[in-house]
Amino acid sequence: MHLSTLLLSTLPLALSHPNHAPFEPSPPPTETTTPSLSLEFTSDTAFTTALLNSTNTFRRAHNAPAVVYNTTLSAFAASYLDTTNPACAFRHSGGPYGENIALGCADARGCVELWGEERGAYDFGAPGFADGTGHFTQLVWKATTDVGCARRWCGDTRGWFLVCEYWPRGNVLGLFGEQVQAAESGVGRREGVWWLGLLVWLVVWF
Ligand SMILES: *[C@@H]1O[C@H](CO)[C@@H](O)[C@H](O)[C@H]1NC(C)=O
Ligand SMILES: *[C@@H]1O[C@H](CO)[C@@H](O)[C@H](O)[C@H]1NC(C)=O
């Protein structure tokens, strides 16, 4: 995992989000992977397959129907990264879709798993948007049917910038109880997810 610049962000709908910059991560531990070599980032087919498989694995576990890959969404994400934000500023597009972003993951599946494993911190008994679980709730939001993602190489220090768009968008305030379901017993509550908190700089703008 590429840890030096790992940043994640997601947005709730109907909350204002101040336009502040995410804090800078601390210096990295030893790197074990070179992100630029990840097939999941360099091959379009591997990228799409990894994202869909990983996304739908989490959705299946939380009783949400599988999403399909939508090129309107992926084209929007690509346009944002390559045209609107080519300098890789870590911020959201402000577009009409649900959006999870991450910077510095080693591969596409790894990004989705970091988002999904936030479920270990989600309180299904008190549904709602919370810092640190917003990627997960968007990922498994039942009413979302389509996903589309793009990535941009932001240099050796920062790694890959991944942007995923979701439609219809999730994280709609007031609907978390019906839209985010607990996993079947035995799934979704893994011991040891808390170590992620030590490794991941998590930024949720709200
Ligand atoms: C599909 O995604 C899940 C979750 O990320 C992962 O555990 C599994 O190995 C993936 N399967 C394939 C064939 O890549
Ligand atoms: C893809 O997403 C767009 C934007 O939300 C939507 O208008 C379109 O119907 C979707 N395409 C398909 C084939 O569902």
Give the pLDDT confidence of 1-50 residue by residue, as tens digits: 334 446 777 766 543 332 333 333 333 434 444 546 788 998 899 999 99
- Ligand number nearest to the C-alpha of 107: 1
* Residue type, position 111, single letter: C
Angle among Cα 94, 162, 132 to the nearest 5 degrees reads 75
Phi and psi torsions of 170, nearest 5°: -100, -160
The Cα–Cα gap between 169 and 141 comes to: 8
Please indicate whether residue 58, judged by its CB atom, sits closer than 6 Å to ligand 2: no
Highest mean pLDDT: which range of 26-30, 57-61, 182-186, 188-192? 57-61
Residue nearest to atom 8 of ligand 2 (CA): 72
- Ligand number nearest to the C-alpha of 76: 2
Residue nearest to atom 5 of ligand 2 (CA): 167
The Cα–Cα gap between 65 and 88 comes to: 32
The Cα–Cα gap between 74 and 106 comes to: 20
Residue 185, pLDDT score: 64
Q: Which two tokens stand for residue 59?
A: 């959705």
Please indicate whether residue 73, judged by its CB atom, sits closer than 6 Å to ligand 2: yes
Task: Report how far apart, in Å, the C-alpha atoms of 156 and of each of 1, 3, 42 are.
Answer: 14, 12, 15
Computed over every residue of the chain, the mean pLDDT equals 81
Cα(42) to ligand 2 centroid in Å equals 25
- CB atoms under 10 Å from CB of 86, counted, come to 11
pTM of the model: 0.79
The Cα–Cα gap between 6 and 102 comes to: 7
Cα(97) to ligand 1 centroid in Å equals 25
Cα(70) to ligand 2 centroid in Å equals 6
Give the pLDDT confidence of 96-150 residue by residue, as tens digits: 999 999 999 989 999 999 999 999 999 999 999 987 999 999 999 999 999 999 9
Which residues make Cβ contacts (< 8 Å) with residue 87, sequence separation at least 6? Answer: none
